[in-house]
Amino acid sequence: MTFKDLGLIEPILDALEQKGYTQPTPIQEQAIPILLKGKDLLGCAQTGTGKTAAFAIPIIQLIQKGTTSEEKGRRKIKALVVTPTRELAIQIGENFTAYSKNTRLRNTVIFGGVKQGSQTSALRGGVDILVATPGRLLDLMQQGFITLKDIEYFVLDEADQMLDMGFIHDIKKLLAKLPSQRQSLFFSATMPESIVELSRKILGSYEKVTIQPEQATAERVEQAIYFVAKKDKPDLLAHLIHEQNPESTLVFSRTKHGADKIVRKLERSGIKAAAIHGNKSQNQRQKALGNFKKGELSVLIATDIAARGIDVSQLEMVINYDLPNVAETYVHRIGRTGRASASGVAVSFCDIDEKAYLKDIQKLINTVIPVIDDHPFPDDGTQIPTKPGKGGGGGGNRGRGNERNQNSSGKRNNNNSRRRSDSRDRRS
Ligand code: AMP
C-alpha cells in the first residue's frame, strides 16, 4: 500500500516524499480512506503510530479540494484540533505545515503560558486550520479573536489525557460552540468508560480504528528492567549514560521536584541535562526541547504531562527512572522511542515499592520484560538471587525467568549486545 493508493493529491504526495515517508503506517492506511469519505472517526491509538498524519493529511486534502476561487476575502477557520499540551500543539502545527507546504492553506497554533500578541496577530492574518490547547482557545474566543462557526472538521486529540488533566468542562464549553454539521475525529490511547461516554457526545455515526499498543511496544522497542534500590537510582542512571553514551535519552520522573534532583545529580557526574515540567516557564521548556531535538542536549528529564507526545526523531533511549503507577503510562512513555519505522530502547528502574506496577505493566503489554542484573547497583540480596538458577520458587523478581542474563561475572561488558539477545528471547 502506498500513499498514492490512498487517493492523495499530488501536492500532498510531494510533501510526504520530501518528508521521507515511503509508505503509510497502519493507522494511516485505515483512517485516511474513512476520513476522505467524510465519515466521523474514533481512533484508539497512541502517539508514535503516525496518528497526526492520519488526521492531518485528509483534513488538508478535504479543505484544499473544497477551497476554490470562491474563497475570497478573509480566511475562515475550517479545521480545529484540540490537544492537551503545548508541546503536542506545537508538534501538530509543525506536521500540518509540512504536509500542506505545497498548498495555500495556513495553520496556526495557540497555547497558554505565553503572551497572546503573536497568536492574535496570526489569527488576524487569517488561518484555515487552528491547533489549540483548551484554555487559551476559550480565552481567545471570549475575547472575540476566534469564532468556531465555520468549523467543518473538529479533532479532539489525546482525549484520555484531556480528562486526566481536568479539561472536561472546557471541552463541554467548546462543544456547545461548534456547528452541529461537521466531521469529527476523536483520538484516545485508552478507552475507559468515561472516554467512550465523551466520544458519544462528539461523534455522529462513526467508524472505529484501533491500533494496539502492543504493536508499538513489543515490536519496535527493546525493553529491559533493572532492579535497584531507590537510593541507588541516581548512580545507576549516571552509570548507564556514561557507559552506553546514547545520543539522545529521555528520562521519566514521577515528580517535578524529582526531575530537578536528577538534573543536579547528572550534572555533578559531568552529564549535561535539563528538565521539562509544569513549573518551568514555557520559554525554558521550549528551549530545552529545542536543544534536545537539535542534538545539542543529549539528556532530557521530563514528567509525564510535559513529555506527552514529544516527537523527537531518532530518540535512542527512554529511561523510566520511576515506574509509572498506571500501566498505560508505560506504553505512552516507551512510545517516545521506536517511533514509526525506527527502533529504540526502553530501560526501567524498579525498586521494591514499584514491583506491583511492574506486574501490571507486564500484564498490559503481555510481555515479560527482560531483567539486566549485571550492573554495579543491584538491589540487595533479598531481591536478586546471587546465583542464577538457585532459589527456584523463592519469590525472586517477577519476570526474570529464562531471559535473565547469565553473564554476571562482574565484568562490565557490552550492554547493547546483551540487550539484543534478551529481546530476542523475549518473544519466545
Ligand atoms: P505521531 O504518532 O503522529 O506522533 O508520529 C510519530 C512519528 O512518525 C513522527 O515523527 C512522524 O513524523 C513519523 N511518521 C508519521 N507517519 C510516517 C510514515 N508514514 N512514515 C515514516 N514516518 C512517519
What is the amino acid identity at position 88? L
360 with 242, same domain: the answer is yes
Q: Is 257 helix (H, G, I), strand (E, B) or coil?
A: helix
Nearest protein CA to atom 6 of ligand 1, as residue? 48
The alpha-carbon radius of gyration of the chain (Å, integer) is 23
257 with 183, same domain: the answer is no
Nearest protein CA to atom 16 of ligand 1, as residue? 50
Atom of ligand 1 at shortest distance to CA of 48? Answer: 2
275 with 172, same domain: the answer is no
Give me ligand 1 centre to Cα 349, in Å. 28
CB 224 less than 6 A from any atom of ligand 1: no
For the chain, the maximum distance between any two Cα atoms, rounded to a whole number of angstroms, is 78
pLDDT beyond 80 at 418: no
- Long-range Cβ contact pairs of 275-278 (< 8 A, separation 24 or more): 275/300, 275/301, 275/302, 276/300, 276/301, 276/302, 276/303, 276/306, 276/307, 277/253, 277/302, 277/303, 277/305, 277/306, 278/303, 278/305, 278/306
Per-residue pLDDT, 340: 55
CB 48 less than 6 A from any atom of ligand 1: yes
What average pLDDT does the segment 227-249 reach? 95
CB 341 less than 6 A from any atom of ligand 1: yes
pTM > 0.75: yes or no: no
What average pLDDT does the segment 397-424 reach? 33
Give me ligand 1 centre to Cα 134, in Å. 24
DSSP codes of every residue in 307-342: HTT---TT--EEEESS--SSHHHHHHHHTTSS-TT-
Per-residue pLDDT, 18: 93
Please tell me the distance from the alpha carbon of residue 153 to that of residue 65, in angstroms, as a whole number.
14
Confidence band (pLDDT; 50, 70, 90) for 394? very low
Please tell me the distance from the alpha carbon of residue 404 to that of residue 419, in angstroms, as a whole number.
10
DSSP codes of every residue in 387-415: STTTTTTS---TT-GGG-----SS----H
Residue 416 belongs to some domain of the structure: no
Please tell me the distance from the alpha carbon of residue 233 to that of residue 73, in angstroms, as a whole number.
60
- Give the range of the structural domain holding residue 305, as residue numbers without chain letter: 217-389
Which CATH number goes with the domain that contains 366?
3.40.50.300
81 with 55, same domain: the answer is yes
Per-residue pLDDT, 31: 97
Q: Is 80 exposed, middle or buried (0-12, 13-18, 19+ CB in 10 A)?
A: buried
Angle at 348 between CA 347 and CA 352, to 5 degrees: 155
Residue 411 belongs to some domain of the structure: no
Q: Which three cell numbers stand for residue 154?
A: 473538529
CB 47 less than 6 A from any atom of ligand 1: yes
Residue 345 belongs to some domain of the structure: yes
Residue 332 belongs to some domain of the structure: yes
Please tell me the distance from the alpha carbon of residue 221 to that of residue 87, in angstroms, as a whole number.
23
CB 308 less than 6 A from any atom of ligand 1: no
193 with 223, same domain: the answer is no
Average pLDDT over all residues of the chain: 84
19 half-sphere exposure, CB direction, 13 A CA radius:
25
CB 51 less than 6 A from any atom of ligand 1: yes
150 with 188, same domain: the answer is yes
193 with 314, same domain: the answer is no
What average pLDDT does the segment 9-20 reach? 95
145 with 279, same domain: the answer is no
pLDDT beyond 50 at 208: yes
pLDDT beyond 80 at 213: no
Residue 404 belongs to some domain of the structure: no
230 with 196, same domain: the answer is no
Examine the fold and report which residue of 151, 182, 211 is the final residue of a domain before the chain moves on: 211
Within 10 angstroms of residue 140's Cβ, the number of other Cβ atoms is 18
Q: Which run of H or of E encompasses 130?
A: strand 129-132
Please tell me the distance from the alpha carbon of residue 183 to that of residue 203, in angstroms, as a whole number.
8
Examine the fold and report which residue of 211, 239, 262 is the final residue of a domain before the chain moves on: 211
Domain count for the chain: 2
The least confident of 7-21, 126-140, 206-220 is 206-220
Closest-CA residue to 161 (of 186, 138, 188): 188
Are 109 and 95 contacting, i.e. CB atoms less than 8 angstroms apart?
no
Closest-CA residue to 44 (of 210, 163, 204, 212): 210
Give me ligand 1 centre to Cα 48, in Å. 6
Residue 137 belongs to some domain of the structure: yes
CB 85 less than 6 A from any atom of ligand 1: no
Residue 291 belongs to some domain of the structure: yes
Are 404 and 373 contacting, i.e. CB atoms less than 8 angstroms apart?
yes
93 with 22, same domain: the answer is yes
Per-residue pLDDT tens digits for 108-119? 999 999 999 999
Residue 303 belongs to some domain of the structure: yes
129 with 259, same domain: the answer is no
Higher pLDDT, 321 or 45: 321
Examine the fold and report which residue of 211, 228, 246 is the final residue of a domain before the chain moves on: 211
pLDDT beyond 60 at 38: yes
Please tell me the distance from the alpha carbon of residue 165 to that of residue 259, in angstroms, as a whole number.
20
Per-residue pLDDT tens digits for 279-315? 888 788 889 988 998 899 999 999 887 776 576 767 8
The least confident of 116-120, 186-190, 394-398 is 394-398
Atom of ligand 1 at shortest distance to CA of 91? Answer: 4
248 with 187, same domain: the answer is no
pLDDT beyond 60 at 383: no
